[in-house]
Structure 1
């Protein structure tokens, strides 16, 4: 007998189920079967039963399909334990079948698609077909019967029917064939297989085929059906306004007798309406357990109007039981949500965090934001939370790492890709690398000019010239040779350049990097071979051992990865797949499985965060829906051109959009005290309005009929772009925040303090660097004083990203790189090295573009370097002397270091193009040191060669005084950012030497702001960081510029 229990409260249904379970069964030792639609429902129901009966034991909670298949498996010996027509198993079968079929046996458009598709696209097509066939089995069993009789079922079905017959030829046991055998099974044997009673709980819909089997089972044993019904009245005949208008076009309105009733029920309840109509046709007995809400809350009155099928009725007042929040971004939604939940905990008596459910339209998007914001430190109260339903990729970095490993092995091995892999601690541990090691390896790879490619052969396989330059093998060879042949960088070894970069114990980092690269390079060949499912499992499990060294915290994460690999291979084997397959569909399906919802942690304590998905209509005191954006919900189901059901709708057919609309309705009736809804309703760039989900609009339309305009203002909130907006901290504002940090930020903004707030508002304390000054550090500081302050005192290097190796080979040479190479060429020519040796060495180092382009660039640099080398040789025929030791005292400051490249003629500085202001300042400091040391038999001159002109720094009689001023500015620049910018200051001082202060300042302003050809100093990153919106070219700047550069200009003279 079929008994139906209906209620608008799931708790009432759970209580009634517990009462039924408490009654002794005919076979007390046999497990009771409670069929549910979702594991989350099973978890909730087991807790409810335990709360009513004191224990929940000897119960199983199968899903409908699993229950019925197991039933047939028990009844019929030929039925396997697993359904090979389950969509994912079937997808593998179809994929293999499509590969084996002749193109003439399938539709021409499909054949053309497969001819131009790779393995992944072929598998995606197989998945779409498997999903369609699964729907045909459930909703079009008559088509399946006709196809197997070689009859046409509908227009354009010939190739799908043929494909289906090929599948049936392999295995004829499927859902429809079992339904056909149902009537042939004797009632006695069938009844012996069944438990004495069966419970079906909280299932929002069942297909006609499932219902027919339930009807048959109910004729043999008691079947208790517990269903959540939003309405106690008969609502099978209500229609939405849209349906009403469409039907009115076909008949006269007075003849239709169409009823809308409650608009939310009419527009969102189609799926439930059709389901309950089908159930009622089965004439079940049963009970009605409806519970009207007697409270005054707006939420309760809305629920009661749905329950009684009433049109929206005006209410006396509005309240906070329903709130709609328009935000600028998903992150702002989460920030608003946190404050709303804290408010609910303050205002709703007896509410705890575990009474709250948060559902997101896209949990993979919102899960990291929830985790970040809910876990962030701060003064506000902390909320415990659990996230379930997010994919493994969201919370398991080892799953992401494994996918990146196999994807990288199928790529060109870009240098950034390999370095990104080494950011995973488990991989670093496996290969003996730490963070310091990674930083050093990155520097080595930059020096070795590694860009991409395993070696020359891998380039040949891509149809490119097999030049090994800039590949991994070449770069690693350079590092190994440099370690084995230190100090021998001038000689190539079999055309390989020995890069002398690895020192001492750093060799262990090089060894780890070599092992890591060898493992990845070998994997490329391994993945190119087709293998059986079992062989792929061994390879993938082996990769987890080869690349990961898990610690105590990550061992469970690694085990989850291995479990997913086992599940993938099991899926293929259960589908009967034994043949060898390429890796591409294996990788694609593995990524899909890593992205699938993981249900662990649901109802595990704290705020429950999960996906907004069908069968999740559980009751909670507070329910929050986030991400309720237009196009995000209800979810769209892509239409397939070969979906034969698309043009032939039948009652009982399911659609994702209808499922989501009914889910929203069930969510409304499942909230007990508060319903919070948020969506991205404003563009965060231009603040323009964005529409919410259509179901939110429909809810808002209903609420507007219940409350007046002032009432709507109490439940509708338009949030600012920033969480520190003033509106959150005004006494009479409807907006609020629990964040003390945001309140303080709002106070700063209120005072007009925004970007002009300095990063360092007060001078920093003294350091040892101010007293014991290293010469190289002093020279580096005056290259860019703001950068020197950030690096020396704040340990900041915001140009670090620029130091990463390039992933693309060069087709030209950057200007500053070219100047550096030309300087190297001049030095080599002065050392009497041949141009051909220089060319081969630069090629081996990967510093030139490949082919003729690189050769042409080298010849151009060679011409300029040769001309400069001749000029240098004519001026400096003596050998360089030993470096001069610098050991000078300036009060408490002690300057130490060595002065290099000194000979009897003094210092010689050259550039094939030009000497920049920061370079001139560095050489000026060196010139002052030479004059301060005043060594015998050495001229106190610094000769300058710039392009085709020459000049010099004359002897400086007050060298110590000038150095003392520079050291004072250095010390000042370690306490606070020094407003001295060499390029701008140079223009100012250069024009000031001409005697016109106004032109000098105007020229400095032009250089400061720059133009379309030249970036101004104002745009330099360290200025924006340390001196935001501060007028840098003030009197202090001009005074400092003159103090530093005027002596330089007075001693500088040019010729020609």
Structure 2
């Protein structure tokens, strides 16, 4: 029969089939087979689903009885249920021909905090991440789907979301939740023009603005401070060091290494700060960081040729603004800006602003070149033909950003501008990938999670035409006059 079938006929047929009671109880009968994971039961199927692969349930914990002498005196070759489960999991993975579906409880039902899956699932994800790559994507983003805490979350009913639901009840609940939700900017009109005091600006202050325009506006014009308090006391003993604490220690080590101090002399000082773990663990971690910073310091000395740096005082008037400050770390071959960390979008902005001033003044006694050195790469800015014109444009953006939020977000804007200007992606593709940097994912925070950006942009989509225009205006000259000269492994 090849004619079209009406929806009512199809619906009646499916309802009739689903209402039938099946009495067969064989292992493989028809439809979907549910079974436990047992040895010799892994038969190849197109689709295999493993449900309940939680950290506390798989592999199974074996609790021996008190009179189990085999468990009390284990020998090589004794059966292990944990190893059996690992083998059963491997059999199930191999048996899946087209799709392998694995589910586990990944978030707490109380506060939505993340819960790790079974260690075997984590090992599988790590293995795939090490051996496969995707352009502009993390493997975890493709492999793992994290559901929301509530079934009526708007994420399930959005067109571009990979989450979906057919529940009419939850859809009505979502509509009720959004019914009185009005989209409105936190600042819906421009503020009065700032005083002329803002025209007297230091170099570092200008960089601070472009590093976070919204934060600068809220703090300097409105006195709004949203930074979380860091005065909480950790109730667990620290056996490792990472994040901001690790960064602070490494910067101190690099600074003292360049001044000629020995790392051993700094160990007691760092212990006194309370950032290092106690005992030998802290000593080992300290020497690991000091070895790494020593390698970076040697690379820095090779670039600067071991010459002492000089500084340049800045007092420059341009387009009704007065820029003051000091440019340090000037060498014969130009300005050198080094930071022992991976180069981020904000680092490019800082080096670019200092480079423009160096080229604008012109009589600094060094080449009009700037070298940005990070732990992962070395980026070099060449002389700029029209530095004053570019600097004036940046000052115009700065002045406008004192009255209204500028849709410029350093990391997201860098992603978009690089894809559009350097990689020559289509506007739609560049914006789509930049949105991933803005929103983040289940494993990496997005730039939109920033408290200041969230306050001013959570009710709107800030990646609009203004975002595209400003991002290209700021970053395109950087890409034009700069280039990556070295990648540090």
Relative to the length of structure 2, the TM-score reads 0.59
**1:863 paired to 2:268:** no
CA distance in 1, matches of 2:238, 2:390: 44
State how 1:651-800 maps to structure 2 within 5 Å: 754-768=181-195, 769-800=197-228
Q: 2:416 aligns with which of 988, 1011, 1016?
A: 988
**1:1002 paired to 2:432:** yes
Cα deviation, 1:947-968, whole Å, max 9, x if unaligned, reads: 2532311112211111111111
CA distance in 1, matches of 2:208, 2:375: 24
Cα deviation, 1:406-438, whole Å, max 9, x if unaligned, reads: xxxxxxxxxxxxxxxxxxxxxxxxxxxxxxxxx
**1:1016 paired to 2:446:** yes
Q: 1:930 aligns with which of 334, 358, 380?
A: 358
State how 1:507-526 maps to structure 2 within 5 Å: none
Look up the match of 1:520. Answer: none
- Check the 8 A contact 1:757/1:1028 in 2, yes or no: no
- Check the 8 A contact 2:329/2:337 in 1, yes or no: no
Look up the match of 1:818. Answer: 246
Cα offset for 1:1053? 1.0
- Check the 8 A contact 1:771/1:892 in 2, yes or no: yes
Whose radius of gyration is greater, 1 or 2? Answer: 1
CA distance in 2, matches of 1:1005, 1:788: 23
State how 1:104-143 maps to structure 2 within 5 Å: none
State how 1:549-588 maps to structure 2 within 5 Å: none
Q: 1:1025 aligns with which of 449, 455, 462?
A: 455
CA distance in 2, matches of 1:933, 1:847: 42
Cα offset for 1:975? 0.3
Call closer, same or farther: CA 1:784–1:806 in 2, change over 3 Å: farther
**1:905 paired to 2:333:** yes
Call closer, same or farther: CA 1:948–1:892 in 2, change over 3 Å: closer
CA distance in 1, matches of 2:205, 2:330: 20
- Check the 8 A contact 1:819/1:911 in 2, yes or no: no
Cα offset for 1:842? 0.9
Cα deviation, 1:370-415, whole Å, max 9, x if unaligned, reads: xxxxxxxxxxxxxxxxxxxxxxxxxxxxxxxxxxxxxxxxxxxxxx
Cα offset for 1:893? 2.0
SS at match of 1:952: strand
Cα offset for 1:1037? 0.2
Cα deviation, 1:749-795, whole Å, max 9, x if unaligned, reads: 99x77452222221111223432223222111111111111111111
CA distance in 2, matches of 1:800, 1:899: 32
Q: 1:973 aligns with which of 398, 401, 410?
A: 401
Cα deviation, 1:894-935, whole Å, max 9, x if unaligned, reads: 222222222323221234441111122112111111111222
Cα offset for 1:838? 1.6
CA distance in 2, matches of 1:775, 1:946: 21
SS at match of 2:229: helix
Cα deviation, 1:983-1004, whole Å, max 9, x if unaligned, reads: 1011111111121123322221
CA distance in 2, matches of 1:818, 1:933: 37
Call closer, same or farther: CA 1:891–1:905 in 2, change over 3 Å: same
- Check the 8 A contact 1:755/1:1028 in 2, yes or no: no
Q: 2:309 aligns with which of 876, 880, 891?
A: 880
Structure 2 residue runs of 5 or longer lacking an equivalent are 1-149, 152-176
Cα deviation, 1:19-60, whole Å, max 9, x if unaligned, reads: xxxxxxxxxxxxxxxxxxxxxxxxxxxxxxxxxxxxxxxxxx
CA distance in 1, matches of 2:333, 2:233: 41
Q: 1:889 aligns with which of 314, 317, 333?
A: 317
Cα deviation, 1:184-220, whole Å, max 9, x if unaligned, reads: xxxxxxxxxxxxxxxxxxxxxxxxxxxxxxxxxxxxx
CA distance in 2, matches of 1:756, 1:1021: 18
- Check the 8 A contact 1:756/1:1030 in 2, yes or no: yes
SS at match of 1:801: coil
Cα offset for 1:820? 3.1
- Check the 8 A contact 1:780/1:788 in 2, yes or no: yes
Look up the match of 2:67. Answer: none
SS at match of 1:767: coil
Cα deviation, 1:497-543, whole Å, max 9, x if unaligned, reads: xxxxxxxxxxxxxxxxxxxxxxxxxxxxxxxxxxxxxxxxxxxxxxx
Cα offset for 1:1039? 0.4
Q: Which has the higher helix share?
A: 1
Q: 2:471 aligns with which of 1022, 1032, 1041?
A: 1041
Any runs of at least 4 consecutive aligned residues in structure 1 with deviations exceeding 6 A, and if so which? Answer: none
- Check the 8 A contact 2:194/2:403 in 1, yes or no: no
CA RMSD, Structure 1 to Structure 2 (Å): 2.5
Call closer, same or farther: CA 1:957–1:794 in 2, change over 3 Å: same
SS at match of 1:909: strand
CA distance in 1, matches of 2:397, 2:362: 24
